[in-house]
């Protein structure tokens, strides 16, 4: 298995572990920004959201520039599992109760349109990315009741998705599932980085410009430009597609919460498992309001093997200890489940974690940034970022072109959803964030710096304010542990070798370099504390 030696530059991806995507395709790099530029639209972020928005705008004749901190797909799109679905994480029965029948129908229409758009782009632009249409199966987590599936059957039919109730035992590939399951036709999957590379090339063919290793600073936007690598980018419109929006200081970060989610990948003999997508309905007894679920798919690998990709075991970023199961221990939970349900699973060849943004009212945010007229954001895509990022391409292009779009209200970042479920989740998530501020008062993670093993780190001091990383050679490096966003104390994530902020999900490499917003700057170096 690949190891997780610290990757300190944060350029290739937002964690230390390699993924089966980053390991099987070369991520595209373009030139760094090295002059001032003017454009109609600047898009910040070259994940699926940023690149799809850029492509759709360029198709509509706009002059677009993309600014990317790392390489193509350096963010969560390089760490995804890429189920491309209109079977939404939070279920249509729930969406209908929050947004009414029309809202649920728009959710289904827009995600279905996104699957179709991916397929169209693959065909039109000749992108060889293992795109495949296939069925998805939703089955009960042992803690859940059949009523969940009955409700979802009814709700999906109302919105025009032709699900069918089947026997769990009749699902292809998977074993040991009794009870009912819901079959979703016409879902899809692909290799996300092959797709992104193809999308980036297609955008450039349309006359678009991409600058990689170009860090955008949105603080200067109030003065009419974006500072990037020391140069000025002056757009008429800006689209912030950085997953967690880096332009927003507080508003959007009270409407969504960052969660880590984990993936293991096993080899299976080629053709041993019929391709499908499988998900359970989530742990109803979880300490997390998101009720994490298991998700599985296959992927062609080489002449002898396919890959079996299994995700789950989510927790709120920086708060893994709330379940007394540290980040690096979560893969074992996944492996036990995988071997029970897929006895064909062989050697585990990859493992990694990534971050998803969970909105308090289940739907993502695409549209004008609250309070700004010419700034648009895409965020809050939960575990449905492939379709959410793609439908952002359609929606933001319409919004910038002044064209009415029936989905705009559902995804409006300025919306307030005052239904009981979302208010309860809001209160739970805000409590969990605010309670992190008392971390300053807790004892140091270690009594002396010698207890920190090479390649690991700890948060120390009284108050607890210094992040100390001990490199592989044994030397200590110290940074402030106070997150530059809103002052929470970061936590050490020994699995991805990063400092993770438990409040709004900013993340920093072991050398203090920011790899995930909302923080825009690094952890400041400080003097190594006395031993």
Ligand X SMILES: Cc1cc2nc3c(=O)[nH]c(=O)nc-3n(C[C@H](O)[C@H](O)[C@H](O)COP(=O)(O)OP(=O)(O)OC[C@H]3O[C@@H](n4cnc5c(N)ncnc54)[C@H](O)[C@@H]3O)c2cc1C
Among 54, 182, 199, 263, binds ligand X (CB under 6 A): 263
Query: In the stretch 24-63, what mask flags binding to ligand X with x, by CB under 6 A?
Result: --------------------xxxxxxx-------------
For residue 77 the two structure tokens come to 């799109």
- What's the Cα-to-Cα distance from 108 to each of 113, 363, 410, rounded to whole Å? 8, 11, 11
Q: Tell me the β-bridge partners of 83.
A: 189
Q: Which does 47 bind (CB under 5 to 8 A by kind): ligand X, ligand FES, none?
A: ligand X
Asked if omega into 463 is within 30° of 0 (cis), the reply is: yes
Q: Which does 46 bind (CB under 5 to 8 A by kind): ligand X, ligand FES, none?
A: ligand X
Q: Tell me the β-bridge partners of 256.
A: 359
Q: Are 292 and 143 in contact (CB under 8 A)?
A: no
Ramachandran quadrant class, 291 (left: phi over 0; alpha: psi -120 to 50; beta: rest): left
Q: Which does 486 bind (CB under 5 to 8 A by kind): ligand X, ligand FES, none?
A: ligand FES
- Determine the size of the site formed for ligand X (CB under 6 A): 41
Asked if 488 is part of the footprint of ligand FES (rule: CB under 6 A), the reply reads yes
Q: Are 176 and 169 in contact (CB under 8 A)?
A: no
First CA to last CA across the chain, in angstroms?
36
For residue 470 the two structure tokens come to 């001990």
Q: Which does 383 bind (CB under 5 to 8 A by kind): ligand X, ligand FES, none?
A: ligand X
Could you give the angle at the alpha carbon of 401 between the alpha carbons of 395 and 405, nearest 5°?
A: 40
Among 194, 485, 497, 513, binds ligand FES (CB under 6 A): 485
Residue 527: strand, helix, or coil: coil
Q: Which does 485 bind (CB under 5 to 8 A by kind): ligand FES, ligand X, none?
A: ligand FES
Closest separation in Å from C-beta 246 to ligand X: 5
Asked if 235 is part of the footprint of ligand X (rule: CB under 6 A), the reply reads no
Q: Which does 518 bind (CB under 5 to 8 A by kind): ligand FES, ligand X, none?
A: ligand FES
Q: Which does 68 bind (CB under 5 to 8 A by kind): ligand X, ligand FES, none?
A: ligand X
| Packing angle, helices 385-400 and 92-124, rounded to 10 | 80
Please tell me the distance from the alpha carbon of residue 238 to that of residue 400, in angstroms, as a whole number: 10
| Packing angle, helices 92-124 and 192-205, rounded to 10 | 60
Residue with smaller CB distance to ligand FES, 78 or 518: 518
Asked if 387 is part of the footprint of ligand X (rule: CB under 6 A), the reply reads yes
Minimal CB distance residue for ligand X: 385
Among 18, 28, 141, 215, binds ligand X (CB under 6 A): 215
Closest separation in Å from C-beta 501 to ligand FES: 3
For residue 109 the two structure tokens come to 């229409």
Among 246, 264, 391, 467, binds ligand X (CB under 6 A): 246
Among 273, 396, 478, 501, binds ligand FES (CB under 6 A): 501
- Determine the size of the site formed for ligand FES (CB under 6 A): 12
Stretch that binds ligand X, among 78-86, 278-286, 410-418, 433-441 (CB under 6 A): 78-86
Tell me how far apart the 2 most distant CA atoms of the chain are, in Å.
65
Cα–Cα nearest to 251, from 361, 490, 416: 416
Stretch that binds ligand FES, among 51-59, 116-124, 357-365, 486-494 (CB under 6 A): 486-494
């Amino acid at each position: 298995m690949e190891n997780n030696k610290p990757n300190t530059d944060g350029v290739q991806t937002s964690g230390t572990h390699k993924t089966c995507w980053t390991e099987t395709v070369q991520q595209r790099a373009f030139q760094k920004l090295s002059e001032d530029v003017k454009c109609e639209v600047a898009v910040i972020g070259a994940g699926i959201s940023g690149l799809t928005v850029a492509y759709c705008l360029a198709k509509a004749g706009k002059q677009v520039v993309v600014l990317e901190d790392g390489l193509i797909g350096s963010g969560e799109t390089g760490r995804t599992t890429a189920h491309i679905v209109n079977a939404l994480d939070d279920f249509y029965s729930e969406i209908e109760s929050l947004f009414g029948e029309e809202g649920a129908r728009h959710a289904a229409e827009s995600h279905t349109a996104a699957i179709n758009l991916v397929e169209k782009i693959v065909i039109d632009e000749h992108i060889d990315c293992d795109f495949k249409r296939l069925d998805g199966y939703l089955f009960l987590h042992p803690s859940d009741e059949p009523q969940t599936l009955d409700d979802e059957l009814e709700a999906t039919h109302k919105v025009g998705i032709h699900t069918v109730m089947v026997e769990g035992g009749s699902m292809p590939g998977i074993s040991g599932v009794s009870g009912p399951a819901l079959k979703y036709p016409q879902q899809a999957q692909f290799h996300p980085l092959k797709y992104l590379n193809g999308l980036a090339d297609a955008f450039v063919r349309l006359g678009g410009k991409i600058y990689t290793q170009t860090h955008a600073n949105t603080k200067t936007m109030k003065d009419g430009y974006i500072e990037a690598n020391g140069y000025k980018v002056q757009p008429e419109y800006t689209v912030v597609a950085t997953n967690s929006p880096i332009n927003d200081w507080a508003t959007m970060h009270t409407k969504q919460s960052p969660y880590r989610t984990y993936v293991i990948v096993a080899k299976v003999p080629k053709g041993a498992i019929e391709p499908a997508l499988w998900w359970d309905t989530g742990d109803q007894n979880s300490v997390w309001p998101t009720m994490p679920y298991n998700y599985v798919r296959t992927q062609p690998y080489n002449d002898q093997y396919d890959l079996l990709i299994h995700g789950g075991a989510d927790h709120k970023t920086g708060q893994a200890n709330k379940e007394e199961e540290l980040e690096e221990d979560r893969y074992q939970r996944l492996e036990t489940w995988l071997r029970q349900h897929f006895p064909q699973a062989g050697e585990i060849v990859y493992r990694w974690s990534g971050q998803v943004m969970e909105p308090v009212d289940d739907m993502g945010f695409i549209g004008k940034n609250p309070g700004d007229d010419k700034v648009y954001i895409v965020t809050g895509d939960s575990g449905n970022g492939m379709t959410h990022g793609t439908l952002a391409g359609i929606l933001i292009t319409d919004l910038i072109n002044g064209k009415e779009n029936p989905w705009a209200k559902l995804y409006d970042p300025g919306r307030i959803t005052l239904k009981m479920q979302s208010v309860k989740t809001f209160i739970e998530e805000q409590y969990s964030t605010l309670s992190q501020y008392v971390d300053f008062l807790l004892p140091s993670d270690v009594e002396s710096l010698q207890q920190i093993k090479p390649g690991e780190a700890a948060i120390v001091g009284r108050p607890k304010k210094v992040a100390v990383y001990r490199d592989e050679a044994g030397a200590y490096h110290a940074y402030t542990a106070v997150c530059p966003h809103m002052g929470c104390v970061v936590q050490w994530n020994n699995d991805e070798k990063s400092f993770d902020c438990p409040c709004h999900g900013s993340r920093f490499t072991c050398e203090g370099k920011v790899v995930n917003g909302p923080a825009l700057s690094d952890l400041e170096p400080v003097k190594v504390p006395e031993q």
